[in-house]
Amino acid sequence: MITNLFTIFDPSTSTNLALNWLSLTIIVLLLYPLYWVTPNNSNIILSKIIISLHKEIKTTLGKAVPVGTTIFLVSILIIILSINVIGLLPYIFTASRHISFTLALALPFWLSLILFGCINNTIEMLAHIVPQGTPPLLMVFIVLIETVRNLIRPITLAVRLTANIIAGHLLITLIGNQAAVRSISTFIGVISAYILLTILELAVTFIQAYVFTVLLTLYIREVHH
């Protein structure tokens, strides 16, 4: 039972069933069967999108990154995007609006990059902490700033995705609660605002999945260069 506005972010109170986290597996049921059927328009469009994303990410990464990294990043983008879009459907819990999910997604990636950089590119990792041309008097402060910036990267990745999804869903919920009005003109206005906000939120789901992937791509590039 939903007792207040913010309980929509609690998976145990979104519905009477405590199975909301199963929304993470819906993408498996919807996407992967496409690879086992005769090619159709959906397959062709999806393939073109994946190829375009692959080329763009490959250009950003450069040639020093191991083969298969772009496929991994495109997969991450599609998974996040699918979860965000599915979460816009009624009575489906959105996993990406929970910090426990986004942090669990960002922290292993960041930690693996830090360990890889420290083991294989130690000198380059240390060089990034002190940019070339830094005055000696500022080196201590620059080292502290760069160290903090590197440490908060998984938090910024997780919070950015979660905060944007939460903000949109809160607005949709607030406007949806105003639909039960007596005036027809007010009702039409509320429904129009609801539709426009839903379209905006759909765009946000694409943008946030893309931003998460691009930032992760830049972190990988920094470690390998």
Question: For residues 116-139, b (16+ Cβ closer than 10 Å) or e, as one string?
Answer: ebeeebeeebeeebeeeeeeeeee
Q: What is the mean pLDDT of the chain?
A: 76
Confidence of residue 2 (pLDDT cuts 50, 70, 90): very low
Average pLDDT, integer, range 116-121? 79
Report CA 91 to chain centroid distance, whole Å: 21
pLDDT digit string (tens) for 41-54?
Answer: 766 777 788 888 88
Between 164 and 68, where is the model more confident?
A: 164
- Please compute the mean of the pLDDT values over residues 132-152 and round it to a whole number: 80
**For the segment 9-29, what is each residue's pLDDT rounded down to a tens digit?**
555 544 444 455 666 666 666
- Distance, in Å, from the CA atom of 10 to the CA atom of 2, rounded to the nearest integer, reads 9
Look at residue 96 in the predicted model and tell me its pLDDT: 81
Chain centroid, CA 176 distance in Å: 25
| Selection from 124, 146, 123 nearest residue 134 by Cα | 146
pLDDT at 27: 65
Which whole number is the average pLDDT over 114-131? 76
Q: What pLDDT, on a 0 to 100 scale, did the predictor assign at position 118? A: 80
In SS3 terms, the chain reads as CCCCHHHHHCCCCCCCCCCHHHHHHHHHHHHHHHHHCCCCHHHHHHHHHHHHHHHHHHHHHCCCCCCCHHHHHHHHHHHHHHHHHHCCCCCCCCHHHCHHHHHHHHHHHHHHHHHHHHHHCHHHHHHHHCCCCCCHHHHHHHHHHHHHHHHCHHHHHHHHHHHHHHHHHHHHHHHHHCCCCCCHHHHHHHHHHHHHHHHHHHHHHHHHHHHHHHHHHHHHHHHHC
pLDDT category at 146 given cuts 50, 70, 90 is confident
Asked whether residue 32 carries a pLDDT value surpassing 80, the answer given is no
Q: What are phi and psi of 3, to 5 degrees?
A: -95, -25
CA separation, residue 24 to residues 68, 141, 151, 173 (Å): 24, 43, 28, 22
Do the beta carbons of residue 14 and residue 8 sit within 8 Å?
A: yes
Residue 27 vs residue 130, higher pLDDT = 130
pLDDT at 97: 79
pLDDT at 10: 55
pLDDT at 1: 41
Low-confidence winner among 111-120, 151-160, 161-170, 181-190 (lowest mean pLDDT): 181-190
Write the pLDDT tens digit of every residue in 178-217: 666 667 777 777 788 888 888 888 888 889 888 898 888 8
